[in-house]
């Protein structure tokens, strides 16, 4: 919408951002190098993406990733919703999540709220993907995104699995990426080289999610590959920590999906071992952290209709309290519309924090926006005119930072969030099931 | 926006709804009669509203209500926010809330986030209102609504108090109503006659609030008067119960205001006593309940940009769980945009409930919309086409009802909520502090 929008990727060509690490909130670690979008997958991985008719549009809608290693190592994280989709339930109940070999993902249908039939449909596709790739069914993890309450067109999916299996290649990550996208305006994909003390490894990821706000419940799916050698416990530890610092810290509209899934797979083909509690583990963790944080910020930036994104940092003495306050600000439609409008309306932050922490009155909170303190101990420090003069140019940028200090010390959190625009309403009101 | 909109009041003339009890969700009890908007206040009350320059527009912005009884009885409820405005803090700390004689209310400035100076400003106006009306300062309750972080123009307010005190009259309730409105599109005011076994009493109310969503934090203010004789404990009990069933049960955007205030005042001038645990108390309580529920629904209907309103009823076995689920649905921007668009997109309800109740998977919830069951034990009962055919005309109405059943029995709750429209975004994004 503004010229600066391009920093998030050229939407007209739906390409990835020109520079992957372009946000001040997820800088590139010195030992991590962006290889660009055409570098392909790490050794030991092949991928493909096809169109098999799950989407009525005929766009790509089914993808496979296969790890050809003898001993693949993996870890996965899923949505905590009380109403998980069939592919999430099946993956959690029937997969060897520490030794996954295959990812089967589709867009165009979430296979959620589909009951027993949905589980049976998912199991059929899991079995077909296992046969097509020579894996065990328990080694095939599923990821779906699309409309809730719709049944999966299983025959289309089975045809798609066969076709995708015949097209697997080291540079199939782009086709896979396209097959998992729904309303995403641009790719969220990276190919990185990571310099570890024990040698270089590759780290790649394909991610989808226009926030959690798509009309179809866009869902967050993220698949990560590396040729480093990780023990299952190391993979699980690093994925868990990095997901908490990335996908768990972003909000478009506070809506948790039925289908969120993140999977890390390690082929070990580089021969470089990331041993527990080693300098290699530290460096690999830093790279994974930077990668996932950047992908999370890109998802927020791609929230439908999004023009600007915010980061709220809350400090205080009690972790649950700072967490509650940060979520309240990030999910407040009043704060979000102010961000959209470039309005330094910090009274809305006072209101959001106070409303989320009943019974704490009077709460002596401090508020700064882009480093300018506007509120001290709950009271205005500057007139509205002074605030506007100090902040007007800052609020026209793509990224706006809010710092809130509550009483006490030692607790801190952050949440990334998108603004709320006309476009969000248009997309979500005009969609019809 | 649609012809049916008029049921909520003729917005062009900003008049009250033609029939006060026009919602199926708050029917008129047989012993309650709408006297129309020109009936004036109950015996023992006078009111006035003036323009004193707090609002730059020159519109009315300050009002007084005075109870002339020797022994006024009252009760009050306030926002539970952690960041209450100065008038809320002062009223809570310095007022005899069971024997209030005067309401001093202003629009155009919330006097919130104003620290010590805000409290001092509020105290000055409280003292001036006491002098102007012959009451004690502790008998003057304050209510403010408008922009947060702005200081009250005290001199204007003092002039306004003097002028309002000189204009007090039995039919000053309309002028008072106009003085407390901000972005309200129509009056929320009623004059009722209530037939009790012991005799007839009057019950009137003036209420403002375009939801809680105004750019200025519209805030909910409600002032209620009766000429019945109530003991302080009875007044407090009835107000508490009825507020919980009305203003506590509505949501425009889940944003709790810094200034919400509800005050019930009883002059006793009718000579009709509402004794504790009597049939009179039951009937009076029913009337107050119907009045406040209708006012709450009108506030939701007046949510800025609102086209339709919803009521979600959740049943189950655990009260906190049904409460969490109902709030999640009412505050979900996806459900709200679907309501706005007339879209029977019940997958969004599955998602909202599941997201609000993590760790409960798989949650066997049932969902009905306007009596049509669409989801049983978490799975689709009908195809999307069947749902659309069954519900399309129902979803074009002004009021849409959603029923959700969770496991267990004995717990039930309801929340009224507005839709989410372009207009909401426009109003809240284009406003500048």
Domain assignments of chain A as residue spans, ordered by start: 3-301, 309-430
- Choosing from A182, A219, A234, A261, which is the catalytic residue? A219
Task: Return the SS3 of A218.
Answer: coil
Average pLDDT of the segment spanning B82-102 = 96
Mutate to test the interface with A, among B84, B329, B425, B432 (most CBs of A within 10 A): B425
- For chain A, say whether B350 makes contact (Cβ under 8 Å): yes
pLDDT of amino acid A432: 42
Closest-CA residue of chain B to A259: B351
- For chain A, say whether B147 makes contact (Cβ under 8 Å): yes
pLDDT of amino acid A41: 98
pLDDT of amino acid A8: 32
Is pLDDT larger for residue B79 or for residue B230?
Answer: B230
pLDDT tens string B236-258: 999 999 999 998 888 765 567 88
- CA proximity to B264, closest of B31, B99, B64: B99
Question: CB–CB of A48/A63 below 8 Å?
Answer: yes
pLDDT of amino acid B256: 73
Chain mean position to CA A390: 33
pLDDT of amino acid B15: 41
- For chain A, say whether B358 makes contact (Cβ under 8 Å): yes
Residues in chain B within 8 Å Cβ distance of A364: none
Angle at A177 between CA A173 and CA A180, to 5 degrees: 140
pLDDT tens string B142-194: 999 988 888 999 999 999 999 999 999 999 999 999 999 987 888 999 999 99
pLDDT of amino acid A215: 34
Confidence of residue B314 (pLDDT cuts 50, 70, 90): very high
Mutate to test the interface with A, among B85, B318, B347 (most CBs of A within 10 A): B347
- For chain B, say whether A351 makes contact (Cβ under 8 Å): yes
Give the nearest partner residue to A217 out of B351, B384, B433, using CB atoms.
B351
* Residues in chain A with pLDDT values less than 70: 1-18, 210-218, 252-255, 304, 427-433
Q: Which residues pair with A416 in a beta bridge?
A: A250, A311
**Residue the block writes with tokens 């030992």:** A31
Give the nearest partner residue to A433 out of B113, B333, B388, using CB atoms.
B388
Say if strands A188-196 and A32-34 run parallel, antiparallel, or are unpaired.
antiparallel
Cβ-defined contact of B380 to A114 (cutoff 8 Å):
yes
pLDDT of amino acid A10: 34
What stretch of H or E contains A142? Answer: strand A140-145
Closest-CA residue of chain A to B215: A334
How far apart, in whole angstroms, are the C-alpha atoms of residue A175 and residue B398?
46
- How large a percentage of chain B has pLDDT more than 70? 91
Give the nearest partner residue to A354 out of B147, B258, B332, using CB atoms.
B258
- In Å, how far is B232's CA from the nearest CA of chain A? 24
A383 contact partners, CB below 8 Å, separation of at least 6 = none
Cβ-defined contact of B82 to A358 (cutoff 8 Å):
yes
Window 13-72 of A, Cβ < 8 Å to B: none
How far apart, in whole angstroms, are the C-alpha atoms of residue A364 and residue A360?
9
pLDDT at B337 over 70: yes
Cβ-defined contact of B358 to A80 (cutoff 8 Å):
yes
Task: Pull the structure tokens for residue A272.
Answer: 């470089």
Is pLDDT larger for residue B201 or for residue A378?
Answer: B201
| Largest pairwise CA distance in chain A | 68
Torsions phi, psi for B282 (to 5 deg): -60, -45
**Residue the block writes with tokens 């978490």:** B378
- For chain A, say whether B369 makes contact (Cβ under 8 Å): no
pLDDT of amino acid A7: 30
How far apart, in whole angstroms, are the C-alpha atoms of residue A329 and residue A356?
9
- In Å, how far is A30's CA from the nearest CA of chain B? 38
Angle at B226 between CA B221 and CA B232, to 5 degrees: 85
Task: Pull the structure tokens for residue A127.
Answer: 């079995």
pLDDT of amino acid A427: 66
Q: What count of CB pairs under 8 Å joins A to B?
A: 268
pLDDT of amino acid A216: 34
3-state SS, B237-266, equals HHHHHHHHCCHHHEECCCCCCCCCEEEEEE
* Predicted model pTM: 0.84
Is pLDDT larger for residue A223 or for residue B79?
Answer: A223
Question: CB–CB of A310/A330 below 8 Å?
Answer: yes
B400 contact partners, CB below 8 Å, separation of at least 6 = B308, B309, B310, B311, B339, B369, B370, B394
Question: CB–CB of B102/B70 below 8 Å?
Answer: no
Task: Return the SS3 of A346.
Answer: coil
Say if strands B366-369 and B372-376 run parallel, antiparallel, or are unpaired.
antiparallel
Confidence of residue B422 (pLDDT cuts 50, 70, 90): confident
Average pLDDT of the segment spanning B280-284 = 98
pLDDT of amino acid A193: 98
pLDDT of amino acid B251: 74
pLDDT of amino acid B4: 31
- For chain B, say whether A385 makes contact (Cβ under 8 Å): no
Angle at A86 between CA A170 and CA A418, to 5 degrees: 70
Average pLDDT of the segment spanning B364-391 = 90
Mean pLDDT of chain B: 88
Mutate to test the interface with A, among B214, B333, B353, B359 (most CBs of A within 10 A): B333
Task: Pull the structure tokens for residue B11.
Answer: 């917005």
How far apart, in whole angstroms, are the C-alpha atoms of residue B268 and residue B275?
12
- For chain B, say whether A150 makes contact (Cβ under 8 Å): yes
- For chain A, say whether B321 makes contact (Cβ under 8 Å): no
Torsions phi, psi for B324 (to 5 deg): -60, -45
pLDDT of amino acid A177: 97
CATH number attached to the domain at B309-430: 3.10.20.340
CATH number attached to the domain at A3-301: 3.60.70.12
Confidence of residue B430 (pLDDT cuts 50, 70, 90): low
């Amino acid at each position: 919408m503004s010229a600066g929008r391009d920093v998030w990727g050229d939407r007209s060509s739906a390409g990835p951002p020109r520079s992957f690490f372009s946000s001040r909130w997820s800088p590139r670690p010195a030992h991590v190098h962006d290889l660009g979008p055409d570098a392909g997958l790490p050794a030991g991985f092949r991928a493909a993406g096809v169109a098999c008719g799950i989407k009525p549009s005929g766009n790509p809608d089914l993808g496979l990733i296969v790890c050809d290693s003898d001993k693949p190592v993996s870890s996965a994280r899923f949505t905590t919703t009380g109403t998980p989709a069939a592919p999430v339930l099946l993956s959690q109940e029937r997969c060897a999540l520490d030794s996954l070999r295959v990812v089967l993902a589709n867009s165009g249908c979430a296979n959620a709220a589909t009951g027993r039939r949905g589980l049976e449909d998912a199991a059929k596709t899991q079995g077909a993907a296992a046969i097509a790739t020579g894996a065990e069914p328990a080694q095939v993890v599923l990821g779906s995104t699309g409309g809730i309450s719709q049944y999966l067109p299983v025959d289309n999916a089975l045809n798609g699995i066969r076709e995708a299996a015949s097209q697997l290649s080291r540079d199939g990550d782009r086709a896979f990426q396209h097959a998992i996208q729904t309303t995403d305006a641009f790719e969220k994909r990276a190919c990185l080289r990571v310099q570890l003390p024990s040698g270089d490894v590759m780290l790649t990821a394909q991610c989808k999610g226009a926030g959690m706000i798509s009309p179809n419940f866009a869902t967050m799916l993220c698949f990560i590959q590396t040729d480093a050698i990780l023990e299952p416990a190391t993979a699980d530890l690093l994925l868990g920590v990095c997901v908490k610092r990335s996908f768990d810290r972003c909000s478009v509209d506070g809506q948790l999906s039925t289908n969120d899934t993140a999977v890390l797979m390690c082929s070990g083909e580089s021969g470089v071992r990331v041993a527990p509690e080693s300098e290699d583990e530290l460096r690999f963790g830093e790279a994974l952290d930077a990668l996932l944080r950047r992908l999370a910020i890109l998802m927020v930036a791609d929230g439908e209709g999004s023009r600007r994104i915010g980061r709220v940092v809350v400090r205080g003495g009690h972790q649950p309290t700072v967490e509650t306050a940060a979520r309240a600000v990030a999910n407040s439609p009043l704060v979000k519309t102010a961000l959209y409008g470039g309005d330094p309306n910090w009274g809305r932050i006072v209101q959001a924090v106070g409303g989320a922490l009943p019974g704490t009155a009077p709460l002596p909170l401090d508020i700064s926006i882009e480093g300018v303190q506007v509120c001290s101990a709950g009271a205005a420090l500057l007139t509205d005119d002074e605030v506007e003069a100090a902040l007007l140019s800052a609020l026209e940028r793509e990224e706006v930072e809010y710092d809130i200090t509550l009483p006490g010390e030692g607790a801190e959190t952050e949440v990334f969030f998108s603004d709320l625009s006309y476009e969000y309403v248009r997309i979500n009101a005009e969609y019809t099931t």
